[in-house]
Structure 1
Amino acid sequence: MKNSFDDDGQPKRTGTLLTATSHIITAVIGSGVLSLAWALAQLGWIAGPIALMAISIITLYSSSLLTDCYRSPDPVTGRRNYTYMEAVKANLGGIKYKLCGFAQYGFFVAASIAYTITASTSLAAIKRSNCFHKIGHNHPEKCHEKSYPFIIVFAVIEIILSQIPNFHKLSWLSIVAAIMSFAYSLIGLGLAAGKIAGGGNDVITTLTGVRVGVEVATNAQKIFRVFQAIGNIASAYFYSTVLIEIQDTLKSSPPENRVMKKASTIGVLITTVFYMLCGTIGYAAFGNNAPGNFLTGFGVYEPFWLIDIGNACIVLHLVGAYQVFCQPLFAYVEQWCSNSWPQNKLISKADADGVSTMFKLVWRTLFVIITSLVSMIFPFFNDMMGLIGAATFWPMGVYFPVEMYLVQSKTQRFSTKWIWLKLLSWACCLVSIVAGIGSIQGLISSLTKYEPFS
């Protein structure tokens, strides 16, 4: 029937403000929230909240620019761009299109690794808290848990869920995952507030964060940690890589860009409130010795059952977030292979997407297995989150949205708006550079003293 299809001939999209907001919250409030207490411990009470607010505002502004690039050349009546890469190709073309693909899909791979590490850490924390509850807190060595068996458990779950046909079928999973993100954030806040109320003389917070000669040995270490903390905050807000894909699930009326701007505003505002609470209350609870994952830092405290529920919610959330980021990658690789080898029966077959079900099963399973193996070998949560933020915050979150907006809006060179947007882009480029330096140094430091599978 004619009414069953959109203007591009595709089946009618059914996404709404609710589903788009759920996708955004699922993508944004992920493992990044868990490192915010640690990030504030590096930056202190002044720079920490300022960095959180600044990156929040930048994220919301750049997202607003990006929503107008879903259709080209007109943001309401133009031709649809189904992916971020297609939007870049339509507006910028050439080498920038290829660089965008490298950055976007590289981010998806890195995010899947980071989420696997985080989920396995939370599963291990559940077993550890149960162990402490059973035998007491006097023998911590008896409750040490290796993370790699839990990586295998998470991988099995993702192998099954990876067979979901495409991004449009993820709405139910995103809504569940978004609810889980609220649940574990609230539990973490409650536990942190309880820890603060319980008092203790061992918690020290400062205006400038960790102190040289006390929590860190040298000025260089302090600087590198500050850089890494900025990367962690940037990665915590990041969802630009899937914004166009989320927008492509929306109904065409009202206009997709209008709905997406509302969804982005709601999602980022909710995220900022949670992040500010989790970061500041988490820092107040743990002080300058805040753990990289503030919820697993409660592993030796009671009530153990509440800690277990919080960590279980993290796992359930990351199960959904993994798919939100990986489904666009799955679709791209499958379509590319189908176009490259159209006569290959193993790859191309007449199903809904023109891709063999067997090929999907094999390729998606191999992807989950490979990313899980990498997670076992390099389980460095903070370093990984900082590196992801550094590598993608500027190009995907600021540079491409700004450049596409300037082209689509035909903004005159050297006008006030042009100069402002260019200055914003280069300032964010500097943020990415310093964050990358800090994360690489942290990764090198972690590698020098780590034994795989230990």
Structure 2
Amino acid sequence: MRSLEQEMGARKVAEEMDDDGRFKRTGTMWTASAHIITAIVGSGVLSLAWSMAQLGWLAGVATLFIFSAISLYTSSLLADCYRDPLSGNRNHTYMKTVKTFLGGSKYMVCGLVQYIFLCGVTVNYTITASISMVAISKSNCFHKEGHGAAPCKFSNNPYMIAIGITEIFLSQIRNFHKLSWLSVIAAIMSFSYAGIGIGLSFAQVVSGEGEKTTLTGVEIGLDLTVADKTWRMLQAMGDMALAVAYTFILIEIQDTLRSSPPENRVMKKANVIATSAATTLYMLCGGLGYAALGNHAPGNLLTGFGFYEPFWLIDLANIFIVVHLIGAYQVVAQPVFNLVESWAGARWSKSKFVNEEYPLSISKNNLAINLNKFRLIWRSVFVVVATLISMAFPFFNEILALLGAISYWPLTVYFPRQMHISRNKIKRGTTKWCCLQLLNLVCLLVGLAMAVRSIRESWHEQSFPYFQALHILKVIQI
């Protein structure tokens, strides 16, 4: 009797496992699309009206569509690399995929760039979410006390701490497979606050109060030199390129998909859905925002309609931003969490502290979650460190802009292209090989231009972190 029970238990466990010994994947095209949208549609969508103003209608629309097409194409190339063509084994991470097809030291470079960028994004999300929370407090204060109220000043630090505490709890969600509901909520939030910006822009345009726009964007004049115009155009192009890039997390999302139908086919469909939805949203936000606010469109679309009124609508948009960023934080942090936990599991395979799961009942209906001691401590420490960095370096967004510029070309174009060439044994000198090299060169130049622009902007005395770091050191010495 006992042997029969043991056999049934073993059979049940086997049914719950995938072909690689991991828990059975349940992801679908829609959950993958939600993960992608959560990762790429950030609050930066509200800056696209400014980007359109720098480039104008002709270059602005063309640039957004071109970079969307490039991102979709290279993502499709990467999706085909999820499984090893010889053994059929899965590549669970971007880094492992590069190791399978390119080997050598390239996978180490890939991992270094990818994980540093992802860690930086978590800090960026903490800062940006706190800024939105401060904006809500200021809006309510100004509405209550009057627009000239002196007491309406708030520190970001308490809000960062609150975000950090929330992320500690959410970080205990074990992996991407359990994260689908949070991604769906975050994706809905991103469409919601972008929708508010689109609605306000549309209302201003149809009322006939739209500002002046031009085919070439902001015009050179007394307040804008040729050099300034050029640098602004480079920044706008960089913002658009980064806005549609998501290959840095694609393989990790693809690893959540069930094995039938083939993961690469499902992932390609998810790529099309997510990229089409994001590009449409970007075009509406950028285009209508530019049409409404003209060549003087601000960096944040919502502030172009007045910071104070309608205060409740601006508050609602900022609430949506906060909820979205809290969810997006978990999406971009999961690869970092899994990297460390996979390494620790392999290094201490017999350790109960590292590997043992403890079911914790959270309701009378026997609803339970699994806790792991190592996961609890390690992920909590990660969130605490990210929060402390956010509080110590509120200018970190400028550092992230440089990290994004550096990571764009290798993660979005170079590695997917190289793996595609290796996988399909494309011969040097063929038409396809030459086209892939041309694409690589163009995106390399774009990445270099973004990096140079970020460095130039950072060296400005009012924005470069060095000068603010000196100020922090002086405060500490005092």
TM-score for both structures, normalised by structure 2: 0.86
Cα drift, residue 442 of structure 1: 1.9
Counterparts of 2:304 and 2:159 in 1: how far apart (Å)? Answer: 18
Pair 1:389–1:287, CA change in 2 (3 A)? farther
Deviates more, 1:286-295 or 1:10-19: 286-295
Counterparts of 1:379 and 1:211 in 2: how far apart (Å)? Answer: 33
Choose which of 177, 192, 195 in structure 2 pairs with 1:168: 177
Tell whether 2:200 aligns with 1:191. yes
What CA deviation, in whole Å up to 9, does each residue of 1:333-388 have, x standing for no partner? 22224444567776x34339xx9933322322222222223333443487456434
Pair 1:194–1:143, CA change in 2 (3 A)? farther
Tell whether 2:443 aligns with 1:436. no
Pair 1:345–1:17, CA change in 2 (3 A)? closer
The equivalent residue for 1:149 is 158
Larger radius of gyration: 2
Counterparts of 2:149 and 2:206 in 1: how far apart (Å)? Answer: 25
Instruction: Count how many residue pairs are aligned between Structure 1 and Structure 2.
Output: 446
Counterparts of 2:149 and 2:103 in 1: how far apart (Å)? Answer: 57
Pair 1:299–1:124, CA change in 2 (3 A)? farther
Question: Does the 8 Å contact 2:74/2:416 carry over to 1?
Answer: yes
Question: Does the 8 Å contact 2:189/2:320 carry over to 1?
Answer: yes
Tell whether 2:241 aligns with 1:234. yes
The equivalent residue for 1:38 is 50
The equivalent residue for 2:391 is 376
Pair 1:34–1:421, CA change in 2 (3 A)? same
Q: Where in structure 2 are there 5+ consecutive unaligned residues?
A: 1-10, 359-369
Aligned pairs for 1:35-434 (under 5 A) are 35-73=47-85, 78-137=88-147, 139=148, 142-196=151-205, 203-216=211-224, 218-298=225-305, 300-340=307-347, 348-351=354-357, 357-380=372-395, 383=398, 386-434=401-449
Question: Does the 8 Å contact 1:125/1:296 carry over to 2?
Answer: no
Counterparts of 2:275 and 2:291 in 1: how far apart (Å)? Answer: 24
What CA deviation, in whole Å up to 9, does each residue of 1:377-435 have, x standing for no partner? 44348745643431222110111111001111111111111110111011101100001
Query: RMSD of the TM alignment (CA)?
Result: 2.7
Counterparts of 1:211 and 1:66 in 2: how far apart (Å)? Answer: 40
Deviates more, 1:368-377 or 1:263-272: 368-377
Counterparts of 2:261 and 2:145 in 1: how far apart (Å)? Answer: 59
Pair 1:50–1:141, CA change in 2 (3 A)? farther
Counterparts of 1:293 and 1:301 in 2: how far apart (Å)? Answer: 14
Cα drift, residue 167 of structure 1: 1.8
Counterparts of 2:351 and 2:342 in 1: how far apart (Å)? Answer: 13
Cα drift, residue 289 of structure 1: 3.4
Question: Does the 8 Å contact 2:46/2:197 carry over to 1?
Answer: no
The equivalent residue for 2:15 is 3
Question: Does the 8 Å contact 2:242/2:404 carry over to 1?
Answer: yes
Pair 1:361–1:214, CA change in 2 (3 A)? farther
Question: Does the 8 Å contact 2:95/2:111 carry over to 1?
Answer: yes
- Residue identity opposite 1:120 in structure 2: S
Identity of aligned residues (%): 52
What CA deviation, in whole Å up to 9, does each residue of 1:39-79 have, x standing for no partner? 222222222221111110000000110110000126xx821
Choose which of 38, 54, 66 in structure 2 pairs with 1:26: 38
TM-score for both structures, normalised by structure 1: 0.90
Question: Does the 8 Å contact 2:124/2:397 carry over to 1?
Answer: no
Q: Secondary structure at the match of 1:7?
A: coil
